[in-house]
Amino acid sequence: MNHPLADVTRRLGGIAYGGDYNPEQWPREVWREDVRLMREAGVNLVTVGVFSWSRIQPRPSTYDWSLHDEVLDLLHAHGIAVDLATPTAAPPPWFTRRHPDARPVTASGTRLVHGSRQVFCPSSPAYAEAADALVTELATRYGDHPALALWHVHNEWGNHNALCYCDTSAEAFRAWLQERYKTPDALNDAWGTDFWSQRYGDWAEIDPPRDTTAFRNPGQELDYRRFSSDALLTRHITETALLRRISPDVPITTNVMGTLEKKVDGYAFAAQSDLVAVDHYLPAADPDGHIDLALNADLARGMAGGRPWVLMEHSTSAVNWQPVNVAKKPGETRRNSLTHLARGADGLMFFQWRQSRAGAEKWHSAMLPHGGTDGRIWKEVSALGAELASLKEVTGTRVHGDVAVLFDWHNWWALELQARPSSAFSYLDAVRDWYEALWTMNITCDLVPPGADLTPYRAVVAPNLYLLSDDDADNLTQYVHRGGRLAVGCFSGLVDDCDRVRPGGHPGALRDVLGLVVDEFLPLRTGEHARLADGTAVEQWTERVEPRGCTTVSRYADTADGGPARGGPAVTRHGFGDGTAWYAAGRLPVPALRELLRTVCRQAGITPVVEAPPGLEAVRRVGDRHSYLFLVNHTEETVTVSVAGAGLAGTEVTDGRAVVPPGGVAVVREDPSSPLY
Ligand code: GLA
Best residue among 313, 322, 350 to mutate for probing ligand 1, ranked by most atoms within 8 Å of CB: 313
Distance 351 CA to ligand 1 centre (A): 6
Distance 280 CA to ligand 1 centre (A): 9
Residues, the chain:
677
Report the alpha-carbon distance of residue 629 to residue 610 in Å, rounded. 9
Best residue among 156, 281, 355 to mutate for probing ligand 1, ranked by most atoms within 8 Å of CB: 156
Say whether both 570 and 429 belong to one domain: yes
Is 562 in a helix, a strand, or coil?
helix
Distance 256 CA to ligand 1 centre (A): 11
Say whether both 293 and 377 belong to one domain: yes
Look at residue 533 and tell me if it is in a domain: yes
Distance 258 CA to ligand 1 centre (A): 13
Q: Average pLDDT for residues 11-31, to the nearest whole number?
A: 98
What's the 3-state SS for 10-58? HHHCCCEEEEEECHHHCCHHHHHHHHHHHHHHCCCEEEECCCCHHHHCC
> Does the Cβ of 279 fall within 6 Å of ligand 1?
yes
Last residue of a domain, one of 349, 367, 394: 394
Say whether both 238 and 376 belong to one domain: yes
Distance 409 CA to ligand 1 centre (A): 21
Say whether both 508 and 600 belong to one domain: yes
Say whether both 408 and 447 belong to one domain: yes
> Does the Cβ of 319 fall within 6 Å of ligand 1?
yes
Give residue 671's pLDDT: 84
CATH number at residue 434: 3.40.50.880
Please name the amino acid found at residue 488.
V
Give residue 672's pLDDT: 76
Look at residue 204 and tell me if it is in a domain: no
Give residue 76's pLDDT: 98
Give residue 673's pLDDT: 66
Ligand 1: which residue has its CA nearest to atom 11? Answer: 351
Could you identify the atom of ligand 1 that is nearest to the CA of residue 50? 9
Q: Average pLDDT for residues 505-514, to the nearest whole number?
A: 97
Say whether both 573 and 658 belong to one domain: no
The catalytic residues are: 156, 313
> Does the Cβ of 281 fall within 6 Å of ligand 1?
yes
Beta carbons within 8 Å of 535's beta carbon, 6+ residues apart: 557
Measured in whole angstroms, the distance separating CA 450 from the mean position of its chain's CA atoms is 15
Distance 658 CA to ligand 1 centre (A): 37
Say whether both 546 and 635 belong to one domain: no
Could you identify the atom of ligand 1 that is nearest to the CA of residue 155? 8
> Does the Cβ of 269 fall within 6 Å of ligand 1?
no
Model confidence band, residue 117 (pLDDT cutoffs 50, 70, 90):
very high
Strand partners, 630: 619, 667
Contact 557, 533 (CB under 8 A): yes
Say whether both 425 and 544 belong to one domain: yes
Phi-psi group of 255: left, alpha or beta (phi > 0 → left; psi -120 to 50 → alpha; rest → beta):
beta
Could you identify the atom of ligand 1 that is nearest to the CA of residue 255? 8
Give residue 1's pLDDT: 61
Last residue of a domain, one of 556, 571, 604: 604
Rounding to the nearest 10 degrees, give the CA dihedral for residues 53, 58, 59, 65: -80
Measured in whole angstroms, the distance separating CA 458 from the mean position of its chain's CA atoms is 23
Please name the amino acid found at residue 246.
I
Work out the end-to-end distance of the chain between its first and last CA atoms, rounded to an integer number of angstroms: 28
Could you identify the atom of ligand 1 that is nearest to the CA of residue 315? 12
pLDDT surpassing 70 at residue 676 = no
Model confidence band, residue 267 (pLDDT cutoffs 50, 70, 90):
very high
Confidence (pTM): 0.98
Q: Which of 438, 411, 405, 441 is nearest to 426 (CA)?
A: 411
Look at residue 226 and tell me if it is in a domain: no
Enclosing domain of residue 622: 616-670
Q: Average pLDDT for residues 88-105, to the nearest whole number?
A: 98
pLDDT tens-digit profile of 557-601? 999 999 999 999 999 999 999 999 999 999 999 999 999 999 999
pLDDT tens-digit profile of 239-256? 999 999 999 999 999 999
Say whether both 595 and 620 belong to one domain: no
Is 663 in a helix, a strand, or coil?
coil
Say whether both 376 and 414 belong to one domain: no
CA atoms within 13 A on the CB side of 370: 9
> Does the Cβ of 156 fall within 6 Å of ligand 1?
yes
> Number of folded domains in the chain?
3
Model confidence band, residue 365 (pLDDT cutoffs 50, 70, 90):
very high
Q: Average pLDDT for residues 520-527, to the nearest whole number?
A: 97
Give residue 498's pLDDT: 98
Look at residue 77 and tell me if it is in a domain: yes
Model confidence band, residue 674 (pLDDT cutoffs 50, 70, 90):
low
Look at residue 103 and tell me if it is in a domain: no
Which segment of 1-5, 243-247, 546-550 scores lowest on mean pLDDT?
Answer: 1-5
Say whether both 568 and 643 belong to one domain: no
> Does the Cβ of 351 fall within 6 Å of ligand 1?
yes
Ligand 1: which residue has its CA nearest to atom 12? Answer: 319
Contact 547, 515 (CB under 8 A): yes
CATH number at residue 632: 2.60.40.1180
Distance 172 CA to ligand 1 centre (A): 29
CATH number at residue 350: 3.20.20.80
Look at residue 178 and tell me if it is in a domain: no
pLDDT surpassing 50 at residue 677 = no
Give residue 106's pLDDT: 98
Last residue of a domain, one of 549, 580, 604: 604
Is 312 in a helix, a strand, or coil?
strand
> Does the Cβ of 364 fall within 6 Å of ligand 1?
yes
Look at residue 190 and tell me if it is in a domain: no
Q: Average pLDDT for residues 451-466, to the nearest whole number?
A: 98
Could you identify the atom of ligand 1 that is nearest to the CA of residue 319? 12
Distance 316 CA to ligand 1 centre (A): 13
Look at residue 149 and tell me if it is in a domain: yes
Ligand 1: which residue has its CA nearest to atom 10? Answer: 361
Best residue among 155, 256, 278, 336 to mutate for probing ligand 1, ranked by most atoms within 8 Å of CB: 155
Q: Average pLDDT for residues 650-670, to the nearest whole number?
A: 97
Say whether both 482 and 599 belong to one domain: yes
Distance 644 CA to ligand 1 centre (A): 40
Q: Which of 119, 102, 92 is nearest to 24 (CA)?
A: 92
Please name the amino acid found at residue 351.
F
- Of all residues in the chain, what percent carry a pLDDT higher than 90? 99
Give residue 616's pLDDT: 98
Best residue among 361, 362, 365, 367 to mutate for probing ligand 1, ranked by most atoms within 8 Å of CB: 361
Give residue 2's pLDDT: 77
Could you identify the atom of ligand 1 that is nearest to the CA of residue 51? 9
